[in-house]
Amino acid sequence: MGMTMTQKILAAHAGLDSVKAGDLIEAKLDLVLGNDITSPVAISVMEGFEKNKVFDKDKIALVMDHFIPNKDIKSAENCKTCREFAAKNGITNYFDVGQMGIEHALLPEKGLVVAGDCVIGADSHTCTYGALGAFSTGVGSTDMAAGMATGKAWFKVPGAIKFNITGKPGRYVSGKDVILHIIGEIGVDGALYKSMEFVGDGIAELNMDDRFTIANMAIEAGGKNGIFPVDDSAKEYMKEHSDRSFEVYEADEDAVYDEEYTIDLSSLKSTVSCPHLPENTRTIDDIEKEQIRVDQAVIGSCTNGRISDLRVAAEILKGKKLAKNLRCIVIPGTQNIYLQALKEGLIETFIEAGAVVSTPTCGPCLGGYMGILAAGERCISTTNRNFVGRMGHVDSEVYLASPAVAAASAVKGYICAPE
């Protein structure tokens, strides 16, 4: 019986010739990730272990990104805990104010993840790195603690769903529209504990930022991970950002998939996820008719804060002004992305349009800070979740969309298609 990409990576890291869906394995880890919310819990758990030193100081990444710069005393104390732990253990990849970025944009940029890796992170969107052909998945803080101490983790080998990507997308149709369409089709539990494996000639039409976005939101369909084949674009990205060697795994021709779907990019339209679940999707043609007014637009996050996202938003905002009484918050994913946006004049475009530009942070995405919603307010956001109260008051609403739709809506004041 053949294996999928994910199964091959897990088998290799478990030292096994083969695995199948449902097997319980112990796999070696190439990287363990935590942030300023999840790491303090893991550190506390780890202090109770007999072995309370990290297994490899170069294979731990601690990224201060959720409440950075610190918004209050509690967040400051959390970061202090991480800072002291990193210093005590000599952790190489500790990222704080000035060096940090939103973790899932930062780690690929820093070259810390490459194809064939096995990665866990105490953050649900750790599945982002599947865009590079790595197995990466989110875990709880206790599993993070065990991973930091031992360099290993237990997994139940997931089954898989194959998504055949074909065709060429139209203008302003992006990776965000692809994954929102998929989640709308299969539901928020449609890939529960499955590997979402993307294949097909249409992948060549998706840039790396598109792929990071799609893999990032695999968890919103319940997926254990999302993963892409390692093509020339992925190889070029890794060679540009990393000096690590990588290993390419390919699914066997007789690999077993529980389901298969075909996504024709040429037929997709800009897609919006309406409150209060990512599966509640509608095309922009449908929703634009209602002229749903919004109070705030957020362009950023680990899903859509990369340079191509900022470029398309700036293209739409160039020479325009935000709608009256609308707030727009732009958040570059990393310091390097921020600097690149400065060099290209994108930041100037955002500010001239009336937006504010923030240091990299997850803040508004999880209703932490930098854009909390009041009762009755609506936000069009390029983030990844729109649960009840996700960005603030339980009586607020979040609509998920691409940077193009978010920027266009910020100009018109209601959810609309980019022109």
Question: Residue 375's pLDDT is what?
Answer: 97
Say if residues 217 and 384 touch (Cβ distance below 8 Å).
Answer: yes
Q: Which band of pLDDT confidence, cut at 50, 70 and 90, is reported for residue 51? A: confident
Instruction: Say yes or no to pLDDT of 263 above 80.
Output: yes
Q: Give the per-residue pLDDT at 61.
A: 98
Do 319 and 241 reside in the same domain of the chain?
Answer: no
Asked if residue 43 belongs to a domain, the reply is: yes
Contact 173, 273 (CB under 8 A): no
Residues 6+ apart with CB under 8 A from 339: none
Q: Rounded distance, CA 249 to CA 408, Å?
A: 40
Is the confidence at residue 50, as pLDDT, over 90?
A: no
How do residues 157-185 score in pLDDT, each as one tens digit? 999 999 999 999 999 999 999 999 999 99
In this structure, the answer to whether residues 27 and 133 fall within a common structural domain is yes
**175 lies in the same domain as 249:** yes
For residues 197 and 174, membership in a common domain is answered with yes
Domain boundary among 224, 241, 263: 263
pLDDT score, position 65:
93
Average pLDDT for 413-418: 96
307 is written with which tokens? Answer: 């340079």
**Shared-domain flag, residues 47 and 170:** yes
The per-residue pLDDT for 100 is 86
DSSP 82-150: HHHHHHHHT-SEEE-TTT-B-HHHHHHHTT---TT-EEEESSGGGGGGGGGT-EEEE--HHHHHHHHHH
Note whether 22 and 154 are same-domain residues.
yes
Question: Does 419 have pLDDT greater than 90?
Answer: no
Which residues make Cβ contacts (< 8 Å) with residue 1, sequence separation at least 6? 18, 20, 254, 256
Average pLDDT for 3-23: 97
Phi, psi of 159 (to 5 degrees): -75, -175
Cβ of 167: how many Cβ atoms within 10 Å?
16
**Final residue belonging to a domain, choices 263, 293, 313:** 263
| 295 falls within a domain | yes
Token pair 């072995």 is at which residue?
51
Per the document, the length of the chain is 419
92-112: per-residue pLDDT in tens? 999 999 998 999 999 999 999
Q: Bin 371: left if φ > 0, else alpha if -120 < ψ < 50, else beta.
A: left
Q: Name residue 150's amino acid.
A: T
Residues 112, 193 contacting (CB under 8 angstroms) = no
Domain residue limits at 332:
272-412
59 inside domain: yes
pLDDT digits (tens, 9 = 90+) for 360-391: 999 988 899 999 999 999 999 999 999 999 99
- Report the 10 Å Cβ neighbour count for 201: 12
Residue 282 DSSP SS3: strand
Q: What pLDDT was estimated at residue 210? A: 97
Domain boundary among 210, 242, 263: 263
Q: Are both 182 and 212 inside the same structural domain? A: yes
Mean pLDDT on 394-409: 97
The pLDDT tens digits for 322-362 are 999 999 999 999 999 999 999 999 999 999 999 999 999 99
Mean pLDDT of 202-224: 97
Sequence-separated (6 or more) residues with CB below 8 Å from residue 260 = 161, 162, 163, 164
What are the residues whose beta carbons fall under 8 Å from the beta carbon of 346, sequence distance 6 or more? 310, 311, 313, 314
| Pairwise CA distance, residues 37 & 121, whole Å | 12
pLDDT band for position 281 (cuts 50, 70, 90): very high
Confidence of residue 1 (pLDDT cuts 50, 70, 90): confident
- pLDDT tens digits, 78-90: 999 999 999 999 9
Those residues whose C-beta lies under 8 Å from the C-beta of residue 343, and which sit 6 or more positions away, are none
Residue 161 DSSP code: E
- What is the number of other CB atoms lying within 10 angstroms of the CB of residue 50? 5
Are 302 and 245 members of one domain? no
Neighbour tally for 300: CB within 10 Å: 34
256: helix, strand or coil: coil
Residue 293: strand pairing partners: 414
Q: Which residue has tokens 């819990």?
A: 41
Residue 417 in domain: no
Q: What is the pLDDT of residue 238?
A: 97
Are 263 and 177 within 8 A, CB to CB?
no
Q: Are residues 125 and 239 in the same domain?
A: yes
pLDDT band at 279; cut points 50, 70, 90? very high
Q: How many structural domains are present in the chain?
A: 2
What DSSP state is assigned to residue 371?
A: S
Instruction: Report strand pairing: 271-273 vs 281-283.
Output: antiparallel
Average pLDDT over residues 224-251: 96
Tell me what the mean pLDDT of segment 137-161 comes to.
96
CATH code for the domain of 385: 3.30.499.10
Total-model pTM: 0.95
Of the pLDDT bands very low, low, confident and very high (cuts 50, 70, 90), residue 285 is very high
Q: How confident is the model at residue 259 (pLDDT cuts 50, 70, 90)?
A: very high
Q: Do 210 and 119 share a structural domain?
A: yes
Q: Of all helices (H) and strands (E), which one includes residue 225?
A: strand 225-227
94 near 107, Cβ under 8 Å?
no
Residue 313's contacts (CB-CB under 8 Å, 6 or more residues apart) are: 299, 330, 346, 350, 403, 404, 406, 407
